[in-house]
Each structure stands twice: as C-alpha cells, then as structure tokens.
Amino acid sequence: MKPAPFRYERAHDLQHALELLAEHGDDALPLAGGQSLLPMLNLRLVRPAVVVDLNRIEGLGDIRTAASGGLAIGARVRHRLLATDPAVRAHAPLLAQAAPWIAHPAIRHRGTFGGSLALADPAAEWPACVLALEGTLVLASRARGERRVAAADFFRGLYDCDREPDELLVGCEVPARAADSRSAFAEVARRHGDYAAVGLAIVARGMPGRGAHVRVALLGAGDTPCVARAAATVLAEGGDIEAAARALVAEIEPRGDLWYSAQAKRHLAAHLLRDTWRTVRDA
C-alpha cells in the first residue's frame, strides 16, 4: 500500500501554487490536510504526477470577516478550528455544530475545510453545510484570476465539482447570519466518526407560515450533497413536520451503500428532519 511515484512540490505562496497548477493541470493534485488524498494515493486510486503542498501558503488557514459582512473561511482552515473559533460560533454556528461529526479528533486537526469542499464527497459534512448556508466558493487561477461560484452550482456529481484543473479553491464565504437565524445538524453513522449513512443540515429564520425562510441540505443522500427544497417549503409555510418528511422522502434520490438501502436512507433522512426541526423550531 505505497503510492505510485509522484513529484512533490511545496508551494511557498499562492502565486507559486497557481503557477504549478497552471503548468501541470490535470497531472497535479493539491495537498492540504491529506486526510483523503494520502489514503487515495496509497490505495493508488489517484496517480498524480505532481502533488502540490499548500501547507506553507500564508493566509489560506485564516477565518476573516468578508466585505459582505459574512465570514471568509480560508481553504486550509482545519476542521478543528471551525468547531472552536468564536467568530464561527457567532456568525455561522451551523459549521460549529457540524464540525464534531467529522471523523475523529486526529483527523479534525489535520483535515481542511477547502479540501473537503474540493473533493466533493457527497458523504462529507462541509458540502452540505455550505449548501444550507448558501455559501460562495472562491477559486483562483493564474490565467483567469479569481472566480466565485455559488455553492448551489459548485457540486456537480460524485467527487466532481466546478473546479478547473488549473484552479485552486482558496476559500468559501458564508453570508452574514440573520439575528433570528437558527440552525441544527445531525447525522446517522454506524460508529462514531464514520462517514454517515445520511446527514442533514437545517437553517431557518422567521416564523413558519409568516415569511419564514428554511434551508435543508443533506449529505449521503445522492451523488452530490443536495438541497431539499420541497421539504423546506412545507416547513417555511408552516406545514406539518410529517408532511415535510413525506416531501423529503419523495424528493431525495439516495443510493444504497454497503450497509443501507436507499429505502433505509430515506427513512433516516425523515428521522433527521424531525429531529433537527424540533431543535430549530423550539430555538
């Protein structure tokens, strides 16, 4: 279980990283926390010619206030920081709620926010969270400079996202939190820290039935992280939670995996909706 030969390049700043990606394109893979990439290399599931190490690039690991008033989260922010950072707790509490569900402490100390988003694993927590928060992905390339993509447009398929081979995901912005915004996150996994069978993030503001806004996003419920619009609409309009659960079960298209059928995943998604709705409704 050793990787196929590859060249290791340590990017000393962002410009250097973008030059390396421009030069090698499809043959290069960026390395951040390595919690997915290193196993994939060792399993020879990926065989890049060049690995571009992002760990020495200054600024990529910061969380700042964005011009829009929201949060600008650097791509190399470790999962652990999102669980503990006061600004995240204040402005995007959903991320702090979701962080502890990611794997185990050792992985949370190494793995990164941007790495998880760019890998576009439909079973990962962050893609569903940025969908629920209506975040914006920020990409950069030498040829085209900065490009911004709404989370809703970013995730295109299984491990497939709107990132060109010469682009680097440099961060993600989430909008400023409304004063009455509530959020919750929950998932079901066989063992603590495993990839979830299904997970669900919910963000709500306003009174149901009186112009409320509800966003529901799921992980493990399809080939991409997905937004449950019908279920969210039922809840926003003050509908019954069971009506929302039925809408959810009808609108998602999960695939069965080694341990759960699609039918069981639908059942679990409905359970998670009830569970998290109770939290945000009562908050």
Partner 1 sequence: MSEPAAPEVAARAAAIGEALPRGDAARLAAGAGRFVDDAAPEHALHAAFLRSPVAHARIRRLDLGPARSMPGVVAVFDGEALAAHCRPMCGVLGHLAGMKAAPQWPLARDRVRHVGEPVVLVLARRRAQAEDAAQAIEFEWEPLPVLAEPEAALAPGVAPLHEALGDNTMFEATVATPGVESAFAGAGAVVERRWETARVTAVALEPRGIVAQWDRHEGRLRVRMGTQVPWMMQAVLADVLGIEWDRVSVVAADTGGSFGSKIHGYADEAAVAVAARLCGHPVRFIADRLESFVSDVHARGHRATVRAAVHADGRLAAFAVDDLCAAGPWSVHPRGSVNESRHVLGLTGACYSVPEYQARIRVAMTNLGLYGQYRGVGHPLACLFTETAVDSLARRLQVDPLAWRLDNLLDDAGPWPRRAPAGATFERLSLRASLRECARLMDYPALREDQRRWRESGDPWRLRGIGLACFVENSNHSSANYGRGGAAIASDDGALVRLTQGGGVACAVGLTDTGQGTRTALAQIAADAVGVPVAAIQMTVGDTDHTPVSGGNWGSRGIGIAGEALWRAGCLLRSRLLEAAGALFGREAAALDLRAGAVVDSSGAALCTLAELARAIYLRPDRFPAGVLPEPAASAHFAQRDLDGVYTNGASASRVEVDLRTGQVRLLGHWIVDDCGTVINPLLADEQLRGAAVQGIGQALFEGCLYGSQGELRNATLADYLVPMAVEMPDIVVGHVGSPTGTSRLGAKGVAEAGVTGAIAAVVNAIDDALAPLGVEMDVLPVTPERILRAAGVLDAEAGSLPGRVRSRQNADDAR
Residue matched to tokens 């600024």: 59
Give me the least distance between CB of 240 and partner 1, in Å please.
10
**The binder of partner 1 chosen from 40, 50, 107, 264 (CB under 8 A):** 264
Should residue 101 be labelled a site residue for partner 1 when binding is judged by CB under 8 A?
no
Using an 8 Å Cβ cutoff, are 21 and 53 in contact? no
What SS3 class is residue 231? helix
Q: Build a one-symbol-per-residue string for 178-217: x at contacts with partner 1 by CB under 8 A, - elsewhere.
A: ----------x-xxxxxx-x--------------------
Which residues, numbered 24-43, are part of the site for partner 1 (CB under 8 A)?
Answer: 43
Q: How big is the CA angle at 279 (ends 93 and 262), to the nearest 5 degrees?
A: 95
Give me the least distance between CB of 32 and partner 1, in Å please.
20
Residue closest to 77 by CA, chosen among 104, 108, 102, 98: 108
Using an 8 Å Cβ cutoff, are 133 and 175 in contact? yes
Cβ neighbour number for residue 211 with a 10 Å cutoff: 10
**The binder of partner 1 chosen from 13, 153, 180, 242 (CB under 8 A):** 242
* Segment interacting with partner 1, rule: CB under 8 A, options 107-115, 168-176, 216-224, 266-274: 266-274
Should residue 72 be labelled a site residue for partner 1 when binding is judged by CB under 8 A?
no
Q: Where are the alpha helices (DSSP H) in the chain?
A: 14-24, 37-42, 79-84, 86-91, 93-98, 105-110, 113-119, 125-132, 151-154, 229-236, 241-251, 262-282
Give me the least distance between CB of 199 and partner 1, in Å please.
12
**The binder of partner 1 chosen from 10, 147, 274, 281 (CB under 8 A):** 274
Residues forming contacts to partner 1 in the complex (CB under 8 A) are: 1-5, 43-44, 188, 190-195, 197, 242, 245-246, 249, 258-261, 263-264, 267-268, 270-271, 274
